[in-house]
A and B are shown apart, each in its own frame.
Chain A
Amino acid sequence: MNEVVLYSVLSIGGLGTLAAIILYFVAQRFKVIEDPRIDLVEEKLPAANCGGCGYAGCRNFAEGIVKSGSLDGFSCPPGGSDMMKDIAEVMGLEAEEKDPMIAVVRCSGSKQEAPPKTRFQGLNTCAFAHSLYAGQSGCPYGCLGEGDCVVSCSFDAMYMDENTNLPVIIDDKCVACGACVKACPRSIIEIRKKGKKDRRIFVSCINKEKGGIAKKSCKVACIGCSKCLKECKFEAIVVENNLAYIDFDKCTLCRKCVPVCPTNAIQEVNFPPKKNRKKEEEKSTEN
Chain B
Amino acid sequence: MKTFRIGGVHPPENKLSEKQAIEVLPLPEVATIPLSQHLGVPAVPVVKKGDSVKTGQLIAKGEAFISANIHSSVTGTVTKIDDVVDTSGYRKKAIIIKVEEDQWEEGIDTSDNIIKECNLSPEEIVEKVNEKGIVGMGGATFPSHVKLQVPKGKKADFLLINGVECEPCLTSDHRLMLEKAEQMMVGISIQMRALRVEEAIIGIENNKPDAIKHLRKLAENYKGVSVEPLKIKYPQGAEKQLIKALVNREVPSGKLPIEVGCVVHNVGTSLAVYEAVQKNKPLIDRVVTVTGKDLKKPSNFMVRIGTPALQLIDAAGGLPPNTGKVVNGGPMMGKALNDLESPIAKGTSGIIVFSDDESERVPMQNCIRCAKCISVCPMGLEPFFLGLISDKQRYEECEGNHIMDCMECGSCQYVCPSGRPLLDQVRIGKLNVGKMIRERG
Contact = CB atoms under 8 A, between A and B. Distances in A.
Interface of A: 118, 121-123, 125, 127-128, 131-134, 138, 140, 209, 213
Contacts of B91: 134, 140, 209, 213
Given A122-B421, A134-B85, A138-B85, 11 more contacts: A121-B360, A121-B361, A122-B424, A123-B425, A123-B428, A127-B428, A128-B427, A131-B431, A134-B89, A134-B338, A138-B338
Nearest to B335: A132
B161 to A, nearest CB: 32
28 contacts: A121-B359, A121-B360, A122-B361, A122-B421, A122-B424, A123-B421, A123-B424, A123-B425, A123-B428, A125-B428, A127-B428, A127-B431, A128-B424, A128-B427, A128-B428, A131-B427, A131-B428, A132-B89, A132-B335, A133-B89, A133-B90, A133-B338, A134-B85, A134-B89, A134-B91, A138-B85, A209-B83, A209-B91
Chain A contact residues: over half helix, strand or loop, or mixed? Answer: loop
Interface size class of B (residues with CB under 8 A): 10 to 19
Nearest to B424: A123
B422 to A, nearest CB: 9
B79 to A, nearest CB: 16
Interface string B384-428: 000000000000000000000000000000000000010011011
A171 B358 CA distance: 44
Contact of B90 (A123, A127, A128, A134): A134
B41 to A, nearest CB: 20
B331 to A, nearest CB: 15
Interface of B: 83, 85, 88-91, 335, 338, 359-361, 421, 424-425, 427-428, 431
Contacts of A209: 83, 91
B90 A140 contact: yes
Contacts of A131: 427-428, 431
Contacts of B89: 132-134
A50 to B, nearest CB: 16
B186 to A, nearest CB: 40
A134 B431 CA distance: 17
Contacts of A133: 88-90, 338
A118 B424 contact: no
B86 to A, nearest CB: 11
B421 A118 contact: no
Contacts of A125: 428
Nearest to A125: B428
Contacts of A132: 89, 335
A123 B387 CA distance: 11
A209 B89 CA distance: 15
A128 B427 CA distance: 8
Contacts of A122: 361, 421, 424
Nearest to B337: A118
Can you list the 5 inter-chain pairs with the closest CB atoms, starting with the nearest? A133-B89, A123-B424, A123-B421, A121-B361, A122-B424
A257 B144 CA distance: 55
Contacts of B424: 122-123, 128
B179 to A, nearest CB: 35
A138 B339 CA distance: 9
Nearest to A118: B338
A132 B89 CA distance: 7
Contacts of A213: 83, 91
A123 B361 CA distance: 11
A127 B83 CA distance: 23
A134 B91 CA distance: 8
B391 to A, nearest CB: 8
A209 B93 CA distance: 13
A73 to B, nearest CB: 23
A213 B424 CA distance: 30
B355 to A, nearest CB: 14
Nearest to A133: B89
A71 B260 CA distance: 59
B323 to A, nearest CB: 12
A133 B325 CA distance: 14
Contacts of B431: 127, 131
Contacts of A123: 421, 424-425, 428
Nearest to B422: A123
A118 B323 CA distance: 12
Contacts of B360: 121
A209 B92 CA distance: 12
A138 B85 CA distance: 9
A128 B387 CA distance: 13
A56 to B, nearest CB: 15
B206 to A, nearest CB: 33
A140 B86 CA distance: 13
A256 B113 CA distance: 74
Contacts of A127: 428, 431
Contacts of B428: 123, 125, 127-128, 131
> Which of B91, B359, B360, B361 counts the most chain A CB atoms within 10 A?
B91
Nearest to B89: A133
